[in-house]
A and B are shown apart, each in its own frame.
Chain A
Amino acid sequence: MKKVLAETGRFDLRPDLTYARKEHLWLRIEGKKAAIGMEPLEIESKGAIVVVQFEAAGTLLGRGDPFGSMEAEKHVGVLRSPVAGRITAVNERVQQDPRLVARDPYGKGWMIEVALDDFDPDGEDFVTGAEAAEWHAAEVKRYAEEGWLAE
């Protein structure tokens, strides 16, 4: 039988990834391409994810444009792109099995791949390494204060 989640656990951050502060997404940048997924704190705060949908490959995105939507049991929201570019691939497996996002956020739960336009990873919207850890710790505290995390 299922038990209620009794503690929030640790939220995994990867030193090799870039994090978009506002969208709480991770980016794995290779040359002019980026794979994008959602970081574990944001996933946890949504509750059980039941539907994920992405725009089609080939869609052009501006910074902040919707690239899909995510619905949880008590929440629905737009997924907004932290970067400008063109979607080159979407993760069909996540659309078929939305809970994959939570089960393997940095692996099989990736969301889209984007061919980047003029991306500046040093801009203030993005963090990595020690700066990411500092940002994330503050966000964990904020999310807890909002009441979005199990205690």
Chain B
Amino acid sequence: MEVIASEAITSPPQVSPDWVRLSGASAMALRLASGRFSRDFDFGGINLLLNYDEGCLSDCAYCGLARTRPGHYEEKSFIRVDWPLVETDVLAERMAEHKDSLTRLCISMVTHARAFKDTVDITERVARKVDTPMSILVAPPTLNYDRLKTFREVGVDMIGIGLDAVTEELFRQKRTDVPNGGLKWDNYWNVVEWSRQLFGPWKVNCHTLVGLGETDYDMAQMFFRLKSMEVFSYLFNFNPEPDSRMGHQPVAPLTRWRRIQLMKTLIEEYDLAADRLTFDDAGALCGLRADSPQLDHMIRRVAAQGTAFMTDGCPSSGGEPGCTRPYGSYKPSDPYRDYPFQPDVDDLAAIRGELRLDELLRA
């Protein structure tokens, strides 16, 4: 009997650009996986993630994909959930079938030598099938000005930078001076500035993570810095990945999280001045100085509308929230951290209790 060489029956590696991972919610939206959300709402924000056998070469202390986190890369969770793997061309076909319900597509790069080339390849394959607006969450160590320009040329309209840590010191602690770290704060800011030049105002966003050890004052400083550049800050809630080096660190208290959501919206969208914010000696937000009835009314109105507490994400072609990442950084059994839909009356009542706005306005 003829013996088949073991090489002949070994499957080819399922890596990018021919394969890509997608979020659990995206797999559900495209009917590639079964499942449902706790509440009924429209969802069309598709998030993809490059996949390599070696995984991401960075080692950020809080990330599920960190190199030194135990386990094989393909079994690692990212923002706490599994990201199923699918063939890129199958995915593009499926996107075409569901194009009417898609609101935003995003490809998350990882730090890998092939990441740029493969991201361009995947972008082009997808763009041939659908015209849904497309973002890239970039890996700055793999990029330069010309490569960002290439993203623009292949149809990407928004760039995200996963800064995550909002101070240079915190960035160094969590992303540079770690076992296989080495990410550079300056490199990240170069990419922010190049992206801003190439893509224009309010077409670039920085992910800012609450719960890594920063103060509310640090968050506010970052919001003002990004606003001055006409760059969005997209808030993310740190939620520990089991077995990661920060796996036992608690999440930010809900009241703190709500107040930061409100503070960011007031700064970014309502031009709240820095001298309206007061902080205690530990850097915690302790007051909103609304010394005119108009300002007091405006702050209360923003808090009552609820949009400040919705998910930050790139918009749809119509300007509505396009990337809403349901249950992305909290469990379905937890209170909503960011709402993937407009909060309803009951949600707004819960938010009021969590925010305790009167305490801030009285201080």
Given contacts A4-B27, A71-B331, contact A46 B36 (CB under 8 A): yes
Chain B residues 4-26 with CB under 8 Å of chain A are 14, 22, 24-25
Residue of B with least CB distance to A1: B74
B249 to chain A, nearest CB (A): 21
**Chain B binder among A22-30, A74-82, A125-133:** A74-82
User: By DSSP majority rule, is chain A's interface helix, strand, loop, or mixed?
Assistant: loop
User: By DSSP majority rule, is chain B's interface helix, strand, loop, or mixed?
Assistant: loop
Given contacts A3-B86, A4-B86, A5-B33, contact A74 B74 (CB under 8 A): no
**Chain B binder among A60-68, A90-98, A107-115, A142-150:** A142-150
Residues of B within 8 Å of A1, CB to CB, are 14, 74, 85
A44 touches B36 (CB 8 A): no
Report the separation of the CA atoms of residues A76 and B28 in the bound assembly, to the nearest whole angstrom.
16
B31 touches A47 (CB 8 A): no
- Residue from B31, B37, B85, B326 in contact with A150 in the complex, judged by beta carbons closer than 8 Å: B31
Given contacts A47-B24, A76-B332, contact A2 B74 (CB under 8 A): yes
Does any Cβ of B come within 8 Å of A72's Cβ? yes
Q: How many residues of B contact A (CB 8 A)?
A: 26
Residues of B within 8 Å of A146, CB to CB, are 36
Given contacts A1-B74, A3-B86, contact A71 B333 (CB under 8 A): yes
Report the separation of the CA atoms of residues A5 and B252 in the bound assembly, to the nearest whole angstrom.
35
- Residue from B24, B32, B84, B86 in contact with A74 in the complex, judged by beta carbons closer than 8 Å: B24
Does any Cβ of A come within 8 Å of B283's Cβ? no
Report the separation of the CA atoms of residues A148 and B31 in the bound assembly, to the nearest whole angstrom.
8
B85 touches A3 (CB 8 A): yes
A47 touches B333 (CB 8 A): no
Given contacts A1-B14, A5-B32, A147-B31, contact A48 B82 (CB under 8 A): yes
- Seen from chain A, the residues whose Cβ lies within 8 Å of a Cβ on chain B are 1-6, 8, 44-48, 51, 69, 71-77, 146-151
